[in-house]
Amino acid sequence: MPHGRLNAQLAEFYTAHRQELFSYALLLAGSPVPAEDAVAEAFANVLQTGRTPSDLRPYLFRCVRNAAFEALRREGRERKALASYAVLYSETCEPGARDTAAEWLACLADHEREWVVLKVYGDLTFREIGEVCGVPQGTVASSYWRCLQKLRALLNPPIQQENQL
C-alpha cells in the first residue's frame, strides 16, 4: 500500500497518465531509456517536496520536461540531434500514417512540436501548456492552429501541387 495521501494520489495519477508522460518525455529525450529516467525522476521530485502541487498535471509535465532537458545536457546532446519522431509511435501503427506523422513533426519547430504533443497526446489545455513551457496561452493556441494547418496541407496537398507533380 502506498504510504500517505500524496503517494496514493501520485500512484493514481501515474496509472491514468503514464502514457502521456512517457510520450512527452520520449519526444524530448529522443529515446526510451532517458525518457523513462525523466518520468521516474519527475515522480521522485514530487515525492521529495512532500506536498501535492496545486495543479498536479502541469507540474508533473514540467518536471518531466526539466528532467529530460537535464538528461540531454548531461549527455551533451541537443534536441536537434533527434533521429526520427517515429519513435513516438507503436510498431503496430500503419507505417504510412506513422511516417506521415513523423515527417510532419520533423517539419515543425522545436517548441511547436512540443506544444502539439502536449495538446494532442498529453491532452493539456492551452493554459496548462503555457504553464509547462512558460509561454502565454495565446501564443500556444495560435501556434497550435498554424501547426494543424501545416498538417492539413501535408495530408491533403492542394490540387495545384498534384497537377504540377
Binding of residue 4 to other proteins (CB under 8 A): yes
Residue 19 contacts other proteins per CB under 8 A: yes
Distance of closest approach, residue 94 Cβ to other proteins, in angstroms = 8
Does 151 sit near other proteins (CB under 8 A)?
Answer: yes
Helix (H, G, I), strand (E, B) or coil at 123: coil
Report, in Å, the least distance between residue 54 CB and other proteins.
13
String of contacts with other proteins for each residue 76-105, x by CB under 8 A: -----------xxxxxxx---xx--x----
Burial of residue 120, with CB atoms counted within 10 A of its CB: 0-12 exposed, 13-18 middle, 19 or more buried: middle
- End-to-end, the C-alpha distance of the chain in Å comes to 62
Stretch that binds other proteins, among 8-16, 53-61, 62-70, 132-140 (CB under 8 A): 8-16
Using the structure block, give the residue that is written with the C-alpha cell 504533443: 117
Pick the stretch among 7-15, 76-84, 107-115, 131-139 that binds other proteins (CB under 8 A).
Answer: 7-15
- Asked if residues 60 and 21 have their Cβ atoms less than 8 Å apart, the reply is yes
Cβ–Cβ under 8 Å, residues 89 and 98: yes
For other proteins, the binding residue among 28, 29, 39, 64 (CB under 8 A) is 39
| 59 and 65 Cβ atoms separated by less than 8 Å | no
Could you tell me which stretch among 42-50, 57-65, 70-78, 124-132 binds other proteins (CB under 8 A)? 42-50
φ/ψ (deg, to 5) at 105: -60, -35
Residues that bind other proteins (CB under 8 A): 1-4, 6-7, 10-11, 14, 18-19, 21-23, 26, 32, 36, 39-40, 43-44, 47-51, 87-93, 97-98, 101, 116, 120-121, 148, 151-152, 155
